[in-house]
Amino acid sequence: MIHELSTMSYNELIWKKLSSHYIHKGPWATLRTDKCEMPSGHIVEDYYVLEYNNWVNAVAITEDNKVLMVHQYRHAAEIVSLEIPGGVIDHGETPEQAMRRELLEETGYQFDDFELLSVVYANPSTANNHTHCYLARGGKKVQEQHLDEQEELIVETFTIPEVKQLLMDNKIAQSLHCTGLFYALVKLGELK
């Protein structure tokens, strides 16, 4: 495929925000509407934006080379989802601190070896947050789960070939987690 060079620079695609108005502010999500001007001069009266905290997730590999995953009910989709551990970055935390905390809370495993694989957006057209995806290695079970009030998780371990098969069989529905697994499998030399 041949890409044609445009005479327009990428910065010329940026919309100008003329005003913002908050419709809802909640602990997990905030909804605002922006009035914007497109580069063409067209005015977009109501562009809805969901504001969320940034997130973290990790492909967490134990010291015996198993991948930690969790089963969790996701009410919006009404599914029990097989996922990699992760969660919200709390105020004042770095992404790595949040990931270390989430792994310990959700799985009871402690990790000291973290490598940032990617920073991705779930849906940059309507949501403003991003997810830091990590590869964590050498996890050791040091405690039982310490879950939030609205969390109920079942932890399960899988071999890397089993995780690859789960992906091939479309058994992992969370797109951000599929993305993290893709980057980790590439980093581990498991995809060619």
Largest CA distance in the chain: 58
What is the SS3 string spanning 131-180?
EEEEEEEEEEECCCCCCCCCCCEEEEEECHHHHHHHHHCCCCCCHHHHHH
Query: Can you list the domains of the chain with their CATH numbers?
Result: 10-51 (no CATH), 55-187 (3.90.79.10)
pLDDT at 2: 58
* The model's pTM: 0.89
pLDDT at 90: 95
Tokens of 9: 């620079």
pLDDT at 1: 55
User: What's the mean per-residue pLDDT of the chain?
Assistant: 94
Say whether pLDDT at 5 is over 60: no
Say whether pLDDT at 186 is over 70: yes
How far CA 98 is from CA of 84, 106, 191, in Å, comes to: 14, 12, 28
What does the pLDDT look like over 61-88, one tens digit per residue?
999 999 999 999 999 999 999 999 999 9
pLDDT at 28: 82
What does the pLDDT look like over 134-148, one tens digit per residue?
999 999 999 999 988
